[in-house]
Every structure is written in structure tokens, then in C-alpha cells.
Amino acid sequence: MNELEQEIHTLSEQLAAYQKAYYVDNRPLVSDLEYDRLFDRLVALEAKHPHLKRVDSPTQRVGSDLDSTLGEVEHTIPVLSLDKAYSDGELLAWIEKTEAKIGEDVGIVIEEKIDGISIVLYYEDGLLVRAVTRGNGMVGNDVTANVKTIASIPLRLPTEANLAVRGEIYLPKANFATLNASLEVPFANPRNLAAGTIRRIKSSEVAKVPLQIFVYEGFSKDVVQSDHLQILSTLASYGFRLNPNLGYFAKDGVQARQALEAAGLSGFGGSFSDLASYIQEHTLKRSSLDYEIDGLVAKVNSVSAREMLGYTGHHPRWALAYKFESPQAQTVLQSIDVQVGRTGRVTPVARVTPVQVAGSTISNIT
Ligand code: IVH
């Protein structure tokens, strides 16, 4: 390396570390002034010697004025959705059913269900090569240049692994309020503004919006992990931003707390009997969070148990979304019939004009 290459290298490494400290760890290592000075120096050097600009240069955070195409790309992992439940009873029943299926006790990780934009980050040999929206689960839009402006997303990992990481891009509520107030045509919610932003043609426009990310799944043939807590902890060690509001539940609450601690993760550990109150507290906590969530996600911790449970075409059988609000629809009551069961129990049945609710047609209601 000559002197110039060395300087570009050192600046890139330094700035990447400063970005991680500031945007992921919330612990700035240098003053804004010093950061800007180094950043501007690197921008100038790269402008003068474009061939020396690294593919993972931290200057990409400011985006580019050039139009990007948002072409369609095929996912190399199945990007599935989640099955849903609307009560803690349903969730507990699902846990019991899951234990029966695999014939052993399970540990369940509970994460917040972030109401943002689902994204898959593809790393090859440790480099972020593609960021793709969920799309239809098989094909999504290539939004790499835009995603690279999100400073809490590592452009290079401290390992040369090939990795696919799933996460949710969102706009913090506070930023949404200020930004939206300045728009001629305001957006209805932070999710819509984030979705519009991530599809912008110029990444320099995206860079102006303080988008954030929480990552929640990692897939890799190179890095073998035995459970989800370990996957999360590895993702954190690679520099990804995790949601600290995590719960881990098992038959034995003490063991659950130990497992969280062993993985170096913050969060609530408890037994399954704590689950209902955890959900209730979280439902109340929802409005005080700086981002929108529309539920919680329960996930089987053990990777081998996940493999045994497998997938349907739509969702993994090892995860379940608990939604805060059940889907609603309005219709017209036609008549009320009375059904008499075998035991003589009487059940009134409302016959209504058929109406679509969350994908199913409802015409009878008990
Ligand atoms: S796990 C195979 N965890 O919810 C893994 N999804 O309704 C499936 N989402 O498409 C996803 N927060 O975009 C998972 N903590 C979380 C999540 C989460 C938000 C989104 C995700 C998914 C959608 C399903």
C-alpha cells in the first residue's frame, strides 16, 4: 500500500468504527466536528482518486444523486410471513402444540413485531452486496444504494461469512412527526413514509431521512448456531442493531434468565406462567415506544427444533405473530338462528351478509 492508499484505508476503518459507535451503540467516540473533518477528507480523496474508493466506503452513507433502478431480484432464502394469533390463550395453545409435535420442552423467544419495511440484507464474503425488499417473498426490489445510507447497517462484517439477515426498516415516531409536518402531502403513518423513502430513485434523498433498522433473523451456511438467542448475539457482535425489548420464556424461569444472560442479551426472562402478564404489560408499553409495533412474535429458540417443525408455503411452523388488534369489518345482520348442541346447549348464530376479514369470508358468527 502506498501512502495515499494507506490514508484512505485508515480513514475508512476509523469512520466505519465511529458510525457503528454512534448509530448502533449510541456511544459516540469522537466529536461531530472531528467526525465531519475526517469524513470530508475521505470524500475529497475519493473524488480525486475514484479507483481507490472502497466498495464498503463509509462515505456511501450520504447516498448519490444518480438515479438507481430498483430492479427486481430473486431472493436466495425463502422470505416467509408469519401465522397469526389474537390472544394469549392462542399463543399458549400453540406452544403446547409445538412441544407435543417435537416431543420435548421448548424455549420461546418473544420479540416485538416492528411495523416497518421488511428487508433482507445479503452479505457475501462479509460485504453487503444486496439489500432487497420482501416483495412477494420470492422476488423483491433491489434497494441496495438506499439501504447503504442507513448508518446502523454494517457495510462490511468482521467476518468473511456469507449471510442473509432479515430485519425491519422503520422511521422513529419523533422523526416522522417533524418530517411529516414539513410535507405538502403528509403520510398517514411512519410506515408509509419509510416505505416511500426506501423506494426513492436518488439515494441522496434517502440519506436525508433518519431511517433505522432492527434485525431479527440470520441465515448462513458458514456460521452454525444452535439457537436463536445465539443467532441474535452473533448478529450483535457483527455490528447489527438489535431490539433490546426481548423476552425469553421456558418451563423454568430461572433457566430462561440464565440463557439470556449466557447469550449476553438484555431482556425479560421468565416461565410460561409469566407470559400472559408480559404480553399485557407490553400492550401498555406500546404507545411509549419510539417506533410502531403491531404485535409480538413468538419464536422457537432451538435451531434443530425449528428444522423439525419446518415450513408451510406461507410461514414457518416455529414462529407465531401475536397481533394486538384483531382484524375488523362491518356487515349487515340478516337473521339470528338458534343452534341446539348434543348436550342441549343453546348457541345463537348470527347470519350476516358475507364479508371479507383478513382473507376469509365470514357469513356466520357464534
Ligand atoms: S420473523 C421466517 N420477527 O412481520 C421469519 N418478523 O407479518 C419470519 N416482522 O414479514 C419473520 N418484526 O417483516 C419476524 N421480530 C420480528 C418481526 C418480523 C416485524 C415482520 C416481518 C414479516 C412480517 C410478518
- Testing ligand 1's pocket by substitution, the residue of 245, 297, 320, 325 carrying the most ligand atoms inside 8 A of its CB is 297
- Segment 11-21, tens digit of pLDDT: 999 999 999 99
Q: Note whether residue 227 is domain-resident.
A: yes
Q: What does the pLDDT read at residue 341?
A: 86
Q: What is the pLDDT of residues 215-265, one digit of tens each?
A: 999 999 998 899 999 999 999 999 999 999 999 999 999 999 999 999 999
* Averaged pLDDT score across all residues of the chain: 94
Decide if 345 is inside a domain: yes
Determine the structural domain holding residue 293 and report its residue range: 72-321
Q: Are residues 161 and 25 in the same domain?
A: no
pLDDT tens across 155-193, in order? 999 999 999 999 999 999 999 999 999 989 899 899 999
Residue 358: is its pLDDT beyond 70? no
Encode pLDDT of 291-312 as tens digits: 999 999 999 999 999 999 999 9
Co-location of 350 and 308 in the same domain: no
- What is the pLDDT, as a whole number, of residue 210? 96
One domain for residues 349 and 244: no
356 and 310 assigned to the same domain:
no
> Does one domain contain both 227 and 278?
yes
Residue 66 lies in a domain: no
How many angstroms separate the alpha carbon of residue 246 from the centre of ligand 1? 14
Report the separation in Å between the CA atom of 64 and the middle of ligand 1, taken as the mean of its atom positions: 30
Q: Is 81 in the pocket of ligand 1 (CB under 6 A)?
A: yes
**269-274 long-range contacts, CB within 8 A, separation 24+:** 272/92, 272/95, 272/108, 274/249
Judge if pTM exceeds 0.85: yes
Q: Is the CB of 143 under 6 A from ligand 1?
A: no
pLDDT of residue 310: 96
Question: Which single residue is written with the C-alpha cell 433518519?
Answer: 210
* Percentage above 70 pLDDT, the chain: 99
- Cα of 324 from ligand 1 centre, angstroms: 15
Q: Are residues 21 and 141 in the same domain?
A: no
Question: What is the CATH number for 33?
Answer: 1.10.287.610
Task: Answer whether 82's CB lies under 8 Å from 166's CB.
Answer: no
- Residue 358 vs residues 81, 249, 329, 355, 361: alpha-carbon distances, Å: 14, 29, 9, 10, 8
pLDDT band for position 282 (cuts 50, 70, 90) = very high
**CATH at 258:** 3.30.470.30
Residue 321 CA, closest ligand 1 atom number: 7
- Per-residue pLDDT averaged across 266-293, rounded? 95
Which of 77, 136, 166, when mutated, tests ligand 1's pocket best, judged by the most ligand atoms within 8 Å of its CB? Answer: 166
Q: Are residues 184 and 250 in the same domain?
A: yes
Residues 150 and 37 placed together within one structural domain of the fold: no
C-alpha 123 to ligand 1 mean position (Å): 20
| Lookup result for grid cell 430462561 | 256
State in Å: Cα 110 to ligand 1 middle: 12
Domain shared by 130 and 27, yes or no = no
Per-residue confidence (pLDDT) for residue 9, from 0 to 100: 96
Using 50, 70 and 90 to split pLDDT, how confident is the model at 356?
Answer: confident
pLDDT tens digit sequence for 324-344: 987 778 899 999 999 898 888
Tell whether 232 is covered by a domain: yes
Buried b / exposed e over 109-118, threshold 16 CB at 10 Å, is: bbbbbbbbbb
**Which pLDDT score, from 0 to 100, does residue 253 have?**
97
| Closest-CA residue to 236 (of 22, 23, 24) | 24
Given a cut of 90, whether residue 278 has pLDDT beyond it is yes
Asked, for residue 47, whether it belongs to a domain, the answer is: yes
Specify which of 56-70, 198-212, 345-359 reaches the highest per-range mean pLDDT: 198-212
Ligand 1 pocket member 117 (CB < 6 A): no
In the predicted structure, residue 66 carries a pLDDT above the cut 90: no
- Chosen domain end from 321, 337, 352: 321
136 lines ligand 1 (CB under 6 A): no
Residues 254 and 339 in one domain: no
Q: Is residue 25 a part of any domain in this protein?
A: yes
- pLDDT score at 100: 97
Residues taking part in catalysis: 113
Q: What is the number of domains present in the chain?
A: 2
Sign of CA dihedral 181, 186, 188, 193: negative
Task: State the sign of the Cα–Cα–Cα–Cα dihedral 28, 32, 36, 37.
Answer: negative
In a domain, 293, yes or no: yes
65 located within any domain: no
Q: Does residue 313 sit in the same domain as residue 337?
A: no
Amino acid at 206: V
Q: Does 139 share its domain with 191? A: yes
